[in-house]
A and B are shown apart, each in its own frame.
Chain A
Amino acid sequence: MAVTKPTPARRARVILDTMWSSGTGRYALVVLALWALVALVSLFWTPLPLLATDGYHVWAAPSADHWLGTDGTGADVLSWLMAGSRTNLVIAGLTVIGSAALGLLLVGLMVARSTALASVSVAVVDALISIPTVLIALLLAVPFGASAAVVVGACSIAYGLNLARVARPAALLAARSQYVESARANGAGGLRVLVQHIVPNITPVLAVQLSMSAGTSVLAEAGLTYLGVGVGAGVPSWGHSLSTSVKLINVFPLTVLWPGLVVTLVVIALNLFGDALRDAGDPVANPLLREA
């Protein structure tokens, strides 16, 4: 791994090319690009304004005016899904940042040189991991009300813990390696060791875990909003669209299809993205990267 590093731009280019050349990677890239694009477009334009509700035409079937029909307030489903994509994008992004921060902090503690500190943090993480994401969200929703922040908070905590547990073995190997010993001997502090030596060694795990947690945040948003503690009323999100239509599944079974489909396609893409990124970014697996 200690090869001389090519410029980051070139590296990124090679990684993207490699991902693009595999079917799954290409699918992931296309879907994610579309997601970002739709989110961007929805900032300026949606087929109909979000607040164009019409109580006399609720749960309408798809038509020329409403391509995907209307929801329980008579608003346009397509417009709400488009606008929902930016809420979910923000939630996913913030969850990745949040869980990475918490996860790395915990990893740092778990591989700390003080055995007491390390084993206590391992035990605490093990125990805390048992608290369901849903419950963390329920608790957070009490003071903050149902909002995107609750989803981000709950996901960051839950996936941060998960990340810490998954990344610990690799981090431990790195932390006990010779070069960390020598870095420490040279007076490097804990934070520097973490950033400079441990993080690069767990990058593959990080890539998979973080894109997975982005995907799971989309699922969690849907589930939590369904339970009434996710994104609240008045804010578009995929979970909002999904959960309002679930309630009427006995009468209008098909309205639930669209949001469900969007969520599934995006989550699959995010998971594939993680795998593809790991494969493409791993010099052992990707010969092109070695050549670069």
Chain B
Amino acid sequence: MRFLVKRLLLFAAALVGVSMLVFAALRILPGDVAVVMAGTNASASRVAELRAEFGLDRPYTVQYLDWAGGLLHGDLGMSALTGRSVAAQVGRRAAITFPLIVMSLVVALAVGLPLGCAASIARSPRLRGFLRVLAIAGGAVPALWSGLLLLLLFGRGVGLIGLFPSQGFPADGWSGDPVRAFASLILPALATGFVAAAGIMRYTRSALDDIASDGGPVDMAMACGMTRTQAMLQVGLRLATPQLVSVVGLTFASMITGVMVIENLFALPGLGALLVGDVGNRDLVAVESELFLLAAFFLILGLIVDLTHRALDPRLAAGEEE
């Protein structure tokens, strides 16, 4: 319980810290939304008027409190440029980014988990070595590059075997033709998924190895007549579950930022494109809120992962409380 309170307090402190940092970092940047809006024909007085209209001439503390006050009420603010609420914009983009991440995660688990188990159970040093190199090499491939290779192999119109839509997202998104929308996320999901699979694989192997070297449960299962493979997969994997949950959580979180380049390569109008565009336009309120959301999401996910981990593995709670 004390742990929970402590974590929550830290969580709140971190959020406040992030909000201040994000705010300050963005105010240092040269250029502002008024200049962008005024364009190449603008006079200085026009820019000044726009600045006043957006409230950019107010003291920073007032601007910060205004924004942070809105956050407390769950109001992420309005984008100065598009006149839409930041929440709506983020929601629209998330409808592409989140399915992409979930699909990538499925790919990562489907590839990484079995290979990780294989790497741990395999006894042949050559095979182990091979799988180890595979894990490292997999993690070393730039997503930009794996995406390109996938395009060159399977992209329709570009690749050798044109199986999947290459770049872009269908005109009507999910509401129009969901199957096509789904299909256009396949290559990007494979590109990110394969790279993430390398991480899942490494982690699965190391978790299983720990349990095996710990002796106890796996040995006991084998004594009860299971083969080593059976023991590892049935007992070992179950014991490794808490740690695997953490991995999945953190992979998920890190993918949100990790898909930015892939979204760009595959021309998907997701969260990454939104952030890049808003920074480019100096749409400060929008960028602030988007970054804040991102940080909050990470922190919440971290919290959830931590708590699940503890719930699944009571040993930990006992260990750290002292």
Contacts and interface: CB of A to CB of B under 8 A. Distances in A.
Contacts of A223: 142-144, 261
B322 to A, nearest CB: 12
Contacts of B132: 24
Interface stretch (B89-97, B109-117, B294-302): B294-302
A226 B264 contact: yes
B133 A134 contact: no
Given A130-B298, A131-B294, A122 B145 contact: no
A23 B25 CA distance: 46
Given A123-B14, A124-B14, A124-B17, A134 B260 contact: yes
A260 interface: yes
Interface string B287-314: 0000100110111001000000000000
Contacts of A222: 142, 144-145
A130 B297 contact: yes
B179 interface: no
Interface residues of A, number: 42
B47 to A, nearest CB: 18
A222 B13 CA distance: 35
Nearest to A225: B144
A127 B141 contact: no
Given A127-B298, A263-B142, A268-B140, A249 B151 contact: yes
B13 A123 contact: yes
A196 interface: no
A47 interface: no
Interface in A146-200: none
A143 B25 CA distance: 12
A226 B13 contact: no
Contacts of B272: 134
Interface string A22-37: 0110000000000000
A126 B257 contact: no
Given A260-B148, A272-B133, A123 B139 contact: no
Contacts of A71: none
A253 B158 contact: yes
Interface in B141-161: 141-145, 148-149, 151-152, 157-158
B136 interface: yes
B90 to A, nearest CB: 15
Q: Which of the listed residues A123, A242, A264 has the most CB atoms from chain B within 10 Å of its own CB?
A: A123
Contact of A219 (B142, B291, B298): B142
Main secondary structure, interface of B, reads: helix
A130 B144 contact: no
A250 interface: yes
B29 interface: yes
Interface string B29-50: 1110000000000000000000
B186 interface: no
B253 interface: yes
Contact of B291 (A124, A135, A142, A272): A135
A204 interface: no
Contacts of A119: 6, 10
A101 interface: no
A122 B17 CA distance: 12
Nearest to B159: A253
Interface in A95-130: 119-120, 122-124, 126-130
A206 interface: no
Contact of A130 (B148, B253, B260, B264): B253
A260 B260 CA distance: 18
B211 interface: no
A39 interface: no
Contacts of B31: 142
Contacts of B297: 130
A150 to B, nearest CB: 13
Contacts of B11: 123
Contacts of B295: 127, 130-131
Contact of A249 (B10, B129, B158): B158
A222 B272 CA distance: 17
Given A250-B158, A253-B152, 14 more contacts: A24-B133, A119-B6, A126-B299, A127-B298, A128-B21, A131-B291, A143-B29, A223-B142, A223-B144, A226-B264, A249-B151, A260-B142, A268-B137, A271-B139
Q: Which 5 A-B pairs have the closest CB atoms?
A: A132-B257, A130-B298, A127-B14, A267-B140, A123-B14
17 contacts: A123-B17, A126-B302, A130-B18, A130-B297, A130-B298, A134-B257, A134-B261, A135-B291, A223-B143, A227-B260, A227-B276, A242-B144, A246-B148, A256-B152, A264-B141, A267-B140, A268-B136
